[in-house]
Amino acid sequence: MDDRIVTVYVLIDDLLQSLNHSEDVQCQMSDAEVLTTAVVAALFFGGKIEHSRWFLREQGYMPRMLSKSRLNRRLHRAKHLLLIVFQVLGELWKSVNEEGVYVLDSFPLPACDNIRIRRCRLYREEHYRGYQASKRRFFYGLKVHLLVTASGAPVEFFLTPGHFSDVSALDLFDFDLPSGSTIYGDKAYNWYLLEDLLAELGIRLLPVRKKNSKRPLPPWERYLQTRSRKMVETAASNIERLLPKHIHAVTPEGFELKVVLFILAASFNLLPI
């Protein structure tokens, strides 16, 4: 635990220094300490920042810890830095992914139980109600769309309302991958036009084909696709293992911020210590 906390802080602090990130000289805590507190909450305390705040102060990691409200305001001001940290880790995972194999998938993130939808204060619109075909149930909340390496390390992600379809989400991926990469996905990602556009960039998109597909895949490609399912399930399970049964948040922005923290924490967990 100690090694993981130190690794998180050193990486974030070095990154901010390399970006020439400036802060007010009167700040009691640096932005690196604020972000580390949030990531530690996602790693070890189920996203409960108050528990992380108390632990880091009492154990002497950050003796000048801010109050709960001030820390929360600082974290929301610096939340864009979390995405920069994720992008840096994503570039690291792409550089060590010698196979050049990636997998697309999504998983639901309910904001509340179905029976409590009418009382949900985070999201109220109908387009947040989605359907999870694998479990044959509806959910109410967000979808996390992931692009992961063969080892399950996330390199791209974004959030959409629950009703958003996977094929529509293909438009939102950057696909900032090296030439020669291969991307596997399930049947929801069949889009021939995008496959042709990516092929011009040297990237192969190979989703599981439907029975009436005009572009059937050879048997060895279908075999590799069955292996790819385990890759993305590993990445999703790494994130879901960190998720509590209920993510406490009072605003949509706070809920989404905690989701980002859990995904970033899953990426940090893959670093060798």
Q: 142 and 187: one domain? A: yes
Task: Tell me what the mean pLDDT of segment 24-50 comes to.
Answer: 91
Show Cβ contacts of residue 113 under 8 Å, excluding neighbours closer than 6 positions: 140
In a domain, 42, yes or no: yes
Residue 154 lies in a domain: yes
Number of domains in the chain: 2
More reliable by pLDDT, 176 or 135: 176
Domain end point (choices 23, 47, 77): 77
3 state DSSP class of 258: helix
CB-CB neighbours of 166 under 10 Å:
20
CATH of the domain at 132: 3.30.420.10
- Centre a 10 Å sphere on the Cβ of residue 79 and count the other Cβ atoms it contains: 16
Show the domain range for 196: 98-269
Q: What is the pLDDT of residue 258?
A: 93
Reported confidence tier of residue 188, pLDDT bands at 50, 70, 90? confident
Q: What is the share, in percent, of the chain residues with pLDDT greater than 90? A: 48
Looking at the fold, whether 228 and 180 belong to one and the same domain comes out as yes
The answer to the question of residue 134 being in a domain is yes
Task: Say if CB 71 and CB 37 are below 8 A apart.
Answer: yes
Q: What is the pLDDT of residues 116-144, one digit of tens each?
A: 787 888 888 888 988 887 778 888 999 99
Stretch 244-257: mean pLDDT, rounded?
88
Residues 199 and 152 in one domain: yes
pLDDT at residue 2 in the model: 86
Please, are residues 130 and 163 in contact by the beta-carbon 8 Å criterion? yes
pLDDT of residue 231: 64
The residue type found at 267 is: S
Type of residue at 172: L
Asked if residue 164 and residue 49 are part of one domain, the reply reads no
How many beta carbons lie within 10 A of that of residue 258, not counting itself? 22
Q: What is the 3-state secondary structure (H, E, C) of 138-176?
A: EEEEEEEEEEEECCCCEEEEEEEECCCCHHHHHHHCCCC
Which of these three, 47, 77, 107, is where a domain ends?
A: 77
* Domain boundary, last residue among 26, 47, 77: 77
- Examine residue 14 and state whether it is found in any structural domain, yes or no: yes
Q: Are residues 169 and 260 in the same domain?
A: yes
Global pTM reads 0.89
Report the C-alpha gap between 86 and 61 in whole angstroms.
23
pLDDT band at 230 (very low <50, low <70, confident <90, very high): low
